[in-house]
Amino acid sequence: MSKRSPITTHVLDVSLGKPASNILCKLRRLNSQNKWEKISEGITNQDGRVEDLLSTALTKGTYRLEFLTGPYFENRKVSTFYPSVNIIFEVTAPEEHYHVPLLLSPFGYSTYRGS
C-alpha cells in the first residue's frame, strides 16, 4: 500500500454539482528568498481529486496551490472570470494531513481546510 500524500485536493464544480476533472494543479512552496518554488503538479481525476501531489515529507512553511481553471471552462464552452485560482496556506504541523478543497463556479470560488 502506498503512503498518502500529505497534501491533497478536490475540485467540485458547484454550477454543475459534480467533480471537476482534468484541471491542472501546481503546488509551490515559498522559499527562503521569498520566491515560489515549484514542488509538483497533478491533474484532477474523474472524481475531481489529486491525491498524489507530494511523495516526500511535508515541512513547515507557506504553500500555494494554483488551479488552472481557464482551460476547464473553455472545454465546457463556458466563460469564466477566473482563469486560475491560487490558494495560499500555511503548514504549521507537518505531521498532519492537509486537504485543500476548491468549490468552483465560473464567477466565484470558495475553499476551506478539509480532512
pLDDT band at 1 (very low <50, low <70, confident <90, very high): very low
pTM for this prediction: 0.94
Helix (H, G, I), strand (E, B) or coil at 67: strand
Question: What is the average pLDDT value for the chain, to the nearest integer?
Answer: 95
Distance CA 98, CA 83 (A): 24
Residue 60 above 90 pLDDT?
Answer: yes
CA separation (Å) from 82 to 67, 68, 88? 10, 9, 16
**For 15-27, how does the pLDDT look when each residue is reduced to its tens digit (9 = 90+)?**
999 999 999 999 9
Cell of 57: 515529507
Task: Kindly report, residue by residue over 69-81, the tens digit of the pLDDT.
Answer: 999 999 999 999 9
**pLDDT attached to residue 2:** 54
